[in-house]
Amino acid sequence: MAVMAACAAQVWAADNRPPNFSVVDEIVAKVNGDIVTKSELEKNSREVIGALQQQGLKGDNLRQMLSEREKDILRDRIDQLLLVQRAKDLNINVDTEVSKYLADLQRQEKVADPDKFHELVRQQSGMPFEDFRQDVKNNMMTRNVIGQEVARKINVSHDEIAAYYNAHKTEFVREEKVFLREILVSTDGKDAAGTTAADKKATDLYNRASKGERFADLARDNSDAATAAQGGDLGGYTKGYMPANLENVVWTMKPGEVTKPIKTEHGFLILKVEEHTKAGQASLADVEDEIREKLYSPRMQPKIREYLTQLRKSAFLEIKPGFVDSGAAPGMDTRWKDPAQLKPETVTKAEVIEKTRHKRLLWLVPIPGTEETVTGKSSSR
């Protein structure tokens, strides 16, 4: 891999190292008061490989995509450091949001003991809990900066939305569809008493949802379905794509209505109708947000890149030879100034004496236009 090869090329030769000296890590870039290390780039490279493999890529396809993604690994790390530094300059505080995110994650994993939760995070993320927490914090700070400094300055006017709608009306011809959320109280592996308790719990959740408690929160905190983390979101269904017993119940319900618990093979199911779209041409008002997102997204990335270039121009940035910042600001000098390569000035003993004598003689400089000389704090003719 390109990053690995570049990193290896920068390691000191063994014969240049002092006895009993070993390299623990290597700095490859300096970004204001922060650094990027070789091990960070290698870690990020491994994460890229893992993500691509999860997408099902292998062989030549994997190698080709990896080669493309690796070009930006150093760029992406510099980007994040600059954005986190900018967040600190703007006094952006996300501690409350981080704590809430981690509490929600712990609740989703159904692990009450903090130590066990920390160990679960370590196993799943491959890093200590505090490092994971810092990563979450950095990502939130980064998003906040982008939101404040970039996103809110991008405007998509109503006229633009209307023009897109009129030019692409066929994109907005809809099938009738019902959008649902679910809560499942599982009975898998439970005896009669456990099933009775599950029924009671489902009835209680139905009552709470019917009284207006937020369904997505109830699903997140109580559902045994895989959709719990998404607030029970099931997406949309056209007629004929749901089990008939469920379709018959929800198809005539109004948006916002909740079903009573329905007994299924795996437990008690509660459904909420989020939206029910009718067949035919969707109105501009119905799809305005959808079109806004279509027009907004292509403008966002160029603006983010432009903003990050400006951050680079005002940053202290040095990059070691062999490493490339693919987001470099044009014309900016980011060459590495290695103190170890700076040659100290060398002088002879006679030159030192002469310099010292010269400094002393500076105390005997004639005052222009007079015959006086200054000697320390007194003067004489």
What is the pLDDT averaged over residues 139-168?
A: 95
Q: What percent of the chain has pLDDT over 90?
A: 65
Q: What percent of the chain has pLDDT over 70?
A: 82
Structure tokens at 163: 């023009």
Phi and psi at 268, nearest 5°, equal -105, 125
Q: If phi over 0 gives left and psi between -120 and 50 gives alpha, with beta otherwise, what is residue 331? A: left
Q: Where are the alpha helices (DSSP H) in the chain?
A: 2-10, 38-54, 59-70, 73-89, 95-109, 114-125, 129-149, 158-167, 192-210, 215-222, 244-250, 284-313, 349-361
Instruction: Tell which residue, 13, 9, 81, has the closest CA to residue 44.
Output: 81
Lateral strand order in the sheet of 262-264: 233-238, 177-186, 267-277, 262-264
What's the helix, strand, coil split of the chain in %, to 5? 55, 15, 30
pLDDT of residue 379: 42
> Taking all residues of the chain, what is their mean pLDDT, rounded to a whole number?
84
Least confident of 46-50, 151-155, 266-270, 294-298: 46-50
Which residue shows structure tokens 């939101």? Answer: 147
Q: Is residue 211 scored above 60 in pLDDT?
A: yes
Least confident of 57-61, 262-266, 336-340: 336-340
Q: Is residue 275 scored above 50 in pLDDT?
A: yes
Q: Is residue 362 scored above 50 in pLDDT?
A: no
Answer whether 10's CB lies under 8 Å from 55's CB. no
Q: How far apart are CA 78 and CA 198, in angstroms?
A: 51
Structure tokens at 324: 């490339």
Q: How far apart are CA 33 and CA 87, in angstroms?
A: 14
What is the pLDDT averaged over residues 319-345?
A: 81
Answer whether 295's CB lies under 8 Å from 161's CB. yes
Confidence band of 24 (pLDDT split at 50, 70, 90): low
Which residue shows structure tokens 């922060």? Answer: 34
Confidence band of 3 (pLDDT split at 50, 70, 90): very low
Structure tokens at 80: 């994040």
In sequence order, the 6+-apart residues with CB closer than 8 A to the CB of 45 are: 1, 3, 4, 70, 73
- Taken in order of first residue, the domains within the chain and their CATH numbers are 176-278 (3.10.50.40), 347-380 (no CATH)
What is the pLDDT averaged over residues 184-205?
A: 94
pLDDT of residue 378: 42
Structure tokens at 247: 């379709």
pLDDT of residue 179: 95
Dihedral sign, CA of 140, 145, 150, 154? positive
Q: Which residues of 58-77 are buried (b: 16+ CB within 10 A; e: fewer)?
A: eeeeeeebbeebbebbbbbb
What are residue 35's DSSP bridge partners?
30
Q: How far apart are CA 298 and CA 213, in angstroms?
A: 37
pLDDT of residue 341: 53
Q: What is the CA radius of gyration of the chain?
A: 33
**pTM (two decimals):** 0.66
Q: Is residue 2 scored above 70 in pLDDT?
A: no
